[in-house]
């Protein structure tokens, strides 16, 4: 998966990374998650925690849940822990290494957290090989409690079409940078979800032509 670079994030002396999109996107995401997390209990796993800003602030917004950030990049994991410390979010667990393209649901590091209340992944699957999307869905089908939610956020295609011209240009740029990357089709995720024992996608329109796409375990 891609790593944040100095060109896209700032950093603090305590290890925190700052994504410029966080301030724009956090409140709409927090509100859109309420139907899925507002009455949930247990652990929420974030796959690809990036800077860790979302997990730390969502932990404050949803204090009844335990939050477990994961990422394959050690710098991202350190940033997530620094953000949890900075915000005094006591319900954030130490970040863990999970490769979403593998059978991550069987990793012993999750034993004390299963079944999961939710699995979240923001702005990940378009900057990763398709195997990451596949693994995320398959793993969620195994790891979620009945009624638990798998939730993606980011740019998507619907019915084979981009939701805006900006996303179409973004998709071209992604595929030029890495042929395995690209804006994903919600219908393709829906097929994976059905095979994994999850329900139909629930789609919430978000600012900047993004979508929040949720699947609940049947």
Please check whether residue 7 lies inside any domain of the structure.
Answer: no
CATH number of the domain that residue 30 is part of: 3.40.50.150
Q: How far apart are CA 180 and CA 93, in angstroms?
A: 31
Q: What is the pLDDT of residue 155?
A: 98
Q: What is the pLDDT of residue 9?
A: 60
Please check whether residue 6 lies inside any domain of the structure.
Answer: no
Q: Mean pLDDT throughout 185-194? A: 98
Residue 167 pLDDT exceeds 90:
yes
Band of the pLDDT at 14, cuts 50, 70, 90? confident
Residue numbers of the domain that contains 115: 16-216
Please check whether residue 11 lies inside any domain of the structure.
Answer: no
Q: What is the pLDDT of residue 2?
A: 45
Task: For residue 17, give the nearest of 59, 52, 45, 57 by alpha carbon.
Answer: 52
Please check whether residue 9 lies inside any domain of the structure.
Answer: no
Q: How far apart are CA 9 and CA 205, in angstroms?
A: 26
Please check whether residue 3 lies inside any domain of the structure.
Answer: no
Q: How many domains does the chain have?
A: 1
Q: Using one digit for the tens of pLDDT, what is the confidence trace for 32-55?
A: 999 999 999 999 999 999 999 999
Strand partners, 160: none
The continuous run of DSSP H or E covering 122 comes out as strand 116-122
């Amino acid at each position: 998966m891609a790593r944040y670079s100095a060109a896209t994030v700032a950093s603090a002396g305590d290890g925190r990374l700052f994504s410029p999109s966080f301030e724009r996107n956090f409140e709409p995401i927090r509100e859109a998650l309420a139907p899925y997390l507002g009455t949930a209990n247990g652990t929420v796993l974030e796959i690809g925690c990036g800077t860790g800003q979302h997990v730390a602030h969502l932990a404050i917004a949803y204090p009844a849940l335990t939050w477990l950030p994961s990422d394959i990049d050690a710098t991202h994991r350190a940033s997530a822990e620094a953000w949890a410390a900075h915000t005094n979010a006591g319900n954030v667990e130490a970040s863990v290494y999970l490769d979403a393209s593998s059978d991550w649901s069987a990793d012993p590091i999750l034993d004390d957290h299963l079944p999961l209340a939710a699995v979240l992944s923001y702005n990940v699957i378009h900057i990763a090989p398709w195997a990451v999307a596949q693994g995320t869905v398959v793993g969620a089908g195994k790891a979620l409690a009945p009624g638990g939610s798998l939730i993606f956020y980011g740019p998507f295609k619907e019915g084979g079409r981009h939701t805006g011209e900006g996303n179409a240009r973004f998709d071209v740029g992604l595929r030029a940078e890495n042929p395995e990357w690209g804006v994903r089709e919600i219908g393709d995720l829906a097929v994976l979800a059905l095979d994994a024992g999850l329900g139909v996608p629930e789609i919430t329109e978000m600012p900047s032509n993004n979508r929040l796409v949720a699947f609940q375990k049947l």
